[in-house]
Chain A
Amino acid sequence: MGRTMAAKIWDDHIVAAREHEPDLLYVDLHLVHEVTSPQAFESLRLNHRRVRRPDLTLATMDHDVPTRGGRAAADELAERQMSALEENCRREGIRLYGMGNARQGIVHVIGPELGLTQPGLLIVCGDSHTSTHGAFGALALGIGTSEVEHVLATQCLRQRRPKAMAITVEGALPLGVTAKDVALGIIARIGVEGGRGHVLEYRGSTIRGLSMEGRMTVCNMTIEGGARAGVIAPDDTTFAYLRGREYAPAGDQWDQAVDRWRALATDPDAIFDREVSIDAARLEPYVTWGTNPGQSVPVSGSIPAPSTETDERALQYMALEPGTAIEAIAIDRVFIGSCTNARLEDLRVAASVIRGHRVHPKVRAMVVPGSASVKRQAEAEGLDALFREAGFEWRDAGCSMCLGMNPDILGPGERCASTSNRNFEGRQGSGGRTHLVSPPMAAAAAITGHLVDVREFN
């Protein structure tokens, strides 16, 4: 019987497999950031252990870096975490792209843009959105700090083999519908724990038609559907993106790598444990109305009547009444950023909506590029000037208000149209109310001051 792509990658990385025990897997790339690593390094030290493969490890600072004012603007605790990461990387010989480095950025943005994220690799990071890297046909798993320590010490990870679920999306995306809406549509369909225990493989003509940026957005949100990881078969789009990047193979090695990568695709006779089909023609721009990413409706819709206590609690937190048209909801803030939607393509799309308009006077809007490199490229194209002139704040790279660990947070009761990935209670700031949307939807909301259907905006 054939194997799925995830199974092939899994099998290629088995160091030891024993009955009744999780498999021991070899990790090709370990991405490290300041928030989930300090306790892991401390524990290594206490146990007189060293990092086994610093040459397969890369660190950056993203979660609590300030996005303006430089490092001096960091609070004391953030500064402590950044200093600790510097010290840990220095001691262990790990390459660090820290604050101020030209290659710094959100860990899931820089891995791909450096060409480190490659098909067939097993990638881990102490962050749930590690699923992003699956867009390249890598098996990418988010792990906890104890596992970070384990990988630092052994370059291996113990995991039980997950099940496989195929998510097939077919057809052309309707106008105004983005990869973000594909992701939100999938989560609305399978639910926030629908993917539990599975690796999702996104397939079908819609997925093949997405750019790498779009594929990353879809894989990024995999974790919001409860799944372990998401993968997309590498193809010419993948290879075109990777070619020529700093860490990508070059010369003869390039052709060999492409041959290897092409063989990763799921075999025609492989069997998935579960299959879900989605018709792209029926997708719309979505807006979340509640406090988990599964609680969404098309922007043309209205707040649904609560059917569970969870819904009721969500509506109460969000201060929304059933029956209210989505487009009637006024917003205070707009956040364009995060590992979900802060790559160059996202900024370009948002900019195209903003061109010729100004941010609504009651709205405070910000753009936080996903990496220093995205920021430079956007500036080279004049996007920064366009955003600034329209009234947006143009910030330095980082996770920023996606999780509000740095000074970028919502005030209590503030309502935000956000391109990020989680609308959990208090995520963007205590009492803050998050509506997850695509970058063009966020841009349009910034201009009108309320949630608005981007399809009718221009």
Chain B
Amino acid sequence: MEPFTRVTGILAPLDRVNVDTDQIIPKQFLKRIERTGFGPFLFYDWRRNGDFILDRPAYRGASVLVTGANFGCGSSREHAPWSLLEAGFRVVIAPSFGDIFKSNSFRCGLLPVEFRECLLNGWDEVALTLRDETEIARYEADRSTELPRTA
């Protein structure tokens, strides 16, 4: 496996959440007995429909993929990280990953970086939580008055 020391390259955005491994590499391409030969079929169905963002000239040769939450959910196929690697990606940045995809990635040389939504959007986490003010207030209203207080 190529040692992971530094990645310099183009960053490609894929603005979708819950990208499952069936999308990353569809089932019909899983029949190989080698770990190679999957790169050309990365996101096969999406690419086939034309104007897929990763096919735009600006993102040709990209090595970092930035995407939405729960990337790599679904099937455990390690062909998903293999196909990303073969297509030139070394890093995937997402708010969260499918557990198995994440663990597969570490094992085959693809770095999954969890990048919380707050950071992605520059949100202040307190502000984000305060959008749940109604829920917090409701919880407080239902909370037993017998619980201890410091003041």
Judging by beta carbons under 8 Å apart, are A56 and B149 in contact? yes
Judging by beta carbons under 8 Å apart, are B69 and A20 in contact? yes
**B51 in the interface (beta carbon within 8 A):** no
Judging by beta carbons under 8 Å apart, are A26 and B146 in contact? no
Q: Name the residue on A nearest B129 (C-beta).
A: A154
| A28: B residues at CB distance < 8 A | 147-148
Which residues from 61 to 103 on chain A have a C-beta closer than 8 Å to any C-beta of chain B? 93-95
In the complex the two chains form, what is the Cα distance from A256 to B135 in whole Å? Answer: 27
Judging by beta carbons under 8 Å apart, are A55 and B136 in contact? no
Partner of A150, one of B126, B150, B151: B126
Q: Name the residue on A nearest B68 (C-beta).
A: A20
In the complex the two chains form, what is the Cα distance from A56 to B148 in whole Å? Answer: 8
Q: Name the residue on B nearest A44 (C-beta).
A: B126
**A115 in the interface (beta carbon within 8 A):** yes
Partner of B135, one of A16, A47, A116, A248: A16
| B139: A residues at CB distance < 8 A | 15, 26
**A57 in the interface (beta carbon within 8 A):** yes
In the complex the two chains form, what is the Cα distance from A29 to B147 in whole Å? Answer: 10
In the complex the two chains form, what is the Cα distance from A141 to B77 in whole Å? Answer: 35
| A153: B residues at CB distance < 8 A | 126, 129-130
Judging by beta carbons under 8 Å apart, are B96 and A55 in contact? no
Judging by beta carbons under 8 Å apart, are B146 and A256 in contact? yes
Judging by beta carbons under 8 Å apart, are A24 and B146 in contact? no
Judging by beta carbons under 8 Å apart, are A55 and B129 in contact? no
In the complex the two chains form, what is the Cα distance from A29 to B2 in whole Å? Answer: 48
**A301 in the interface (beta carbon within 8 A):** no
**B124 in the interface (beta carbon within 8 A):** yes
Judging by beta carbons under 8 Å apart, are B126 and A24 in contact? no
| A249: B residues at CB distance < 8 A | 146, 148
| B146: A residues at CB distance < 8 A | 249, 253, 256-257
| A247: B residues at CB distance < 8 A | 148-150
Judging by beta carbons under 8 Å apart, are A95 and B150 in contact? yes
Partner of B129, one of A24, A29, A47: A24
| A313: B residues at CB distance < 8 A | none
Give chain A nearest CB distance to B134 CB in angstroms. 9
Partner of A55, one of B130, B132, B151: B151
Q: Beyond A149-B126, A150-B125, A156-B129, is A24–B135 a contact (Cβ under 8 Å)?
A: yes
- Binary A-proximity of B97-131 (CB < 8 A = 1, otherwise 0): 00000000000000000000000000011100110
Q: Name the residue on A nearest B73 (C-beta).
A: A20
Judging by beta carbons under 8 Å apart, are A24 and B132 in contact? yes
- Binary A-proximity of B45-89 (CB < 8 A = 1, otherwise 0): 000000000000000000000000110000000000000000000
Which residues from 1 to 57 on chain A have a C-beta closer than 8 Å to any C-beta of chain B? 15-16, 20, 24, 26, 28-29, 47, 49, 54-57
Chain A contact surface mostly: mixed
Q: How many A-B residue pairs have CB under 8 A?
A: 76
In the complex the two chains form, what is the Cα distance from A149 to B140 in whole Å? Answer: 19
Partner of A158, one of B18, B129, B135, B136: B129
Partner of B150, one of A20, A24, A47, A55: A55
Give chain B nearest CB distance to A365 CB in angstroms. 36
| A49: B residues at CB distance < 8 A | 126
Judging by beta carbons under 8 Å apart, are A118 and B151 in contact? no
Q: Name the residue on A nearest B150 (C-beta).
A: A58
Q: Beyond A49-B126, A156-B129, is A29–B148 a contact (Cβ under 8 Å)?
A: yes
| A29: B residues at CB distance < 8 A | 148, 150
| A159: B residues at CB distance < 8 A | none
Judging by beta carbons under 8 Å apart, are A118 and B126 in contact? no
| A277: B residues at CB distance < 8 A | none
Judging by beta carbons under 8 Å apart, are B96 and A20 in contact? yes
**B95 in the interface (beta carbon within 8 A):** yes
Judging by beta carbons under 8 Å apart, are A93 and B132 in contact? no
Judging by beta carbons under 8 Å apart, are A20 and B95 in contact? yes
**A155 in the interface (beta carbon within 8 A):** yes
In the complex the two chains form, what is the Cα distance from A93 to B150 in whole Å? Answer: 11
In the complex the two chains form, what is the Cα distance from A47 to B143 in whole Å? Answer: 28
**B30 in the interface (beta carbon within 8 A):** no
**A227 in the interface (beta carbon within 8 A):** no
**A334 in the interface (beta carbon within 8 A):** no
Q: Beyond A153-B126, A153-B130, is A15–B150 a contact (Cβ under 8 Å)?
A: no
Judging by beta carbons under 8 Å apart, are B151 and A93 in contact? yes
Give chain B nearest CB distance to A126 CB in angstroms. 15
**A146 in the interface (beta carbon within 8 A):** yes
- Binary B-proximity of A104-147 (CB < 8 A = 1, otherwise 0): 00000000000110100100000000000000000000000010
- 21 A–B contacts from the bound complex (CB under 8 Å): A20-B95, A20-B96, A26-B139, A26-B143, A29-B148, A49-B126, A54-B151, A55-B149, A55-B150, A56-B149, A95-B150, A95-B151, A121-B147, A121-B148, A150-B125, A150-B129, A153-B129, A156-B129, A158-B125, A247-B148, A248-B148
**Further 9 A-B residue pairs, CB within 8 A, beyond A118-B148, A121-B147:** A20-B69, A54-B150, A116-B148, A121-B148, A154-B129, A154-B136, A249-B148, A253-B146, A256-B146
Query: A residues within 8 Å of B by Cβ?
Result: 15-16, 20, 24, 26, 28-29, 47, 49, 54-58, 93-95, 115-116, 118, 121, 146, 149-150, 153-156, 158, 247-249, 253, 256-257
Query: B residues within 8 Å of A by Cβ?
Result: 17-18, 69-70, 95-96, 124-126, 129-130, 132, 135-136, 139-140, 143, 146-151
